[in-house]
């Protein structure tokens, strides 16, 4: 069993849990994910690692209930435990495995949308710990939905917060901030955009126009996370990849987001039915 050392509600619909999983904490790197299962019959849920503490042997996960299983996860309290907590899975972020001296030469821009702030955080933290301070844009619908602001502030070179309704920070979508920063004279060699699929699609259209190579995380289309169900098949240029074993990060300019979003929608009906059953 994997004990939850701390369970916390970050916003009205986003939860954070620090889970005791020493073997995962010992080996994981930013960009990788875990699969959590609440009990024997529970569904396997892939979640990107938000933080890890090798000394404490803990992993932090952040999630938003979007189906029956994640809604059940949200009922877990400090002291409860997951039946299974497997990882680290997937490939670590390239920035954390490439030649550090080469990465140091890059001007990096991270774009985090909503819950996607969670997988962005460990990458920015890792880079900061290795002497690289990246610019970070965090976008949320409203002020109340911004997560990890203090944590991100401590590790980002410059942090730009924006809300769709203008209730905090800059006003407008993350794509507007990308364009504004470039118009203000900022230059970037690489962008890493992680958030809802629609945000990643439009972030990529924006960075393509601005000629900034961009990496995205296809975590949202994963189902079982093991390479067996085939749900996370994604066309990357001419190649077919599996997000859970070949990714989750890919060259965003090569992804066909419309196909990927259709694939994601295919599971919505099943998720919705399971959620209704849970609430009956
Ligand atoms: P959200 O809908 O509140 O959007 C967050 C921000 O993304 C917005 O504030 C806006 O700045 C930007 N955005 C949204 N639509 C946009 C558009 N059309 N053009 C440009 N920018 C746009 O985000 P949320 O509700 O927190 O997101 C939940 C989703 O995040 C889930 O569906 C989940 O699949 C996804 N998610 C993705 C990852 C990943 O690894 N890619 C990780 C965690 C969660
Ligand atoms: Fe099932 Fe990748 S999530 S094959």
- 17-66 confidence digits (pLDDT tens): 999 999 999 999 999 999 999 988 888 899 999 999 999 999 999 999 98
The number of folded domains in the chain is 2
Region 116-134: mean pLDDT is 96
Enclosing domain of residue 81: 2-89
Domain end (from 89, 117, 138): 89
Q: Is residue 103 part of a domain?
A: yes
Closest ligand relative to 118 C-alpha: 1
Q: Is residue 238 part of a domain?
A: no
| 201 & 165 share domain | yes
- Going from the Cα of 116 to the center of ligand 1, the distance in angstroms, rounded, reads 7
| 139 & 205 share domain | yes
Residue 229 known to bind ligand: yes
Q: Is the pLDDT of residue 255 over 90?
A: yes
Does the beta carbon of 119 lie inside 6 Å of ligand 1?
Answer: yes
| pLDDT per residue as tens digits for the range 174-204 | 999 999 999 999 999 999 999 999 999 999 9
Give the Cα separation of 10 and 199 in Å (integer): 21
Q: Is residue 60 part of a domain?
A: yes
Q: Is residue 280 part of a domain?
A: no
Give the Cα separation of 246 and 250 in Å (integer): 9
Give the Cα separation of 128 and 136 in Å (integer): 12
Domain end (from 89, 119, 141): 89
Q: Is the pLDDT of residue 270 over 70?
A: no
* Nearest residue by C-alpha to atom 14 in ligand 1: 199
Give the Cα separation of 57 and 125 in Å (integer): 18
In this prediction, the answer to ipTM > 0.90 reads yes
Instruction: Using the atom order of ligand 2, give the atom closest to the CA of residue 225.
Output: 3
Residue 96 known to bind ligand: no
Residue 234 known to bind ligand: no
């Amino acid at each position: 069993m994997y004990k939850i050392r701390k369970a916390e509600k970050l916003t009205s619909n986003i939860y954070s849990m620090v889970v005791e999983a020493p073997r995962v904490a010992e080996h994981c790197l930013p960009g990788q994910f875990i699969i959590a299962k609440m009990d024997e019959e529970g569904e396997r849920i892939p979640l990107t690692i938000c933080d890890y503490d090798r000394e404490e042997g803990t992993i932090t996960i952040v999630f938003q209930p979007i189906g029956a299983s994640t809604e059940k996860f949200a009922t877990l309290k400090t002291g409860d435990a997951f039946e299974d907590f497997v990882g680290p899975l997937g490939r670590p972020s390239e920035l954390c495995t490439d030649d550090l001296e080469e990465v140091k030469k890059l001007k990096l821009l991270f774009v985090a949308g909503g819950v996607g702030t969670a997988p962005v955080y460990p990458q920015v933290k890792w880079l900061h710990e290795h002497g690289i301070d990246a610019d970070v844009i965090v976008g949320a619908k409203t002020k109340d939905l911004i997560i990890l602001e203090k944590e991100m502030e401590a590790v980002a070179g410059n942090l730009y917060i924006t809300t769709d309704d203008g209730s905090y920070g800059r006003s407008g979508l993350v794509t507007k901030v990308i364009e504004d920063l470039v118009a203000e004279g900022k230059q970037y060699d690489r962008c890493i955009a992680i958030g809802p699929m629609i945000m990643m699609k439009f972030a990529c259209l924006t960075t393509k126009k601005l000629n900034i190579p961009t990496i995205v995380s296809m975590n949202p289309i994963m189902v079982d996370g093991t390479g067996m169900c085939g749900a996370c098949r994604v066309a990357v240029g001419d190649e077919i990849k599996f997000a859970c074993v070949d990714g989750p990060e890919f060259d965003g300019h090569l992804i066909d987001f419309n196909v990927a979003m259709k694939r994601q929608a295919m599971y919505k009906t099943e998720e919705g039915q399971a959620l209704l059953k849970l609430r009956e």
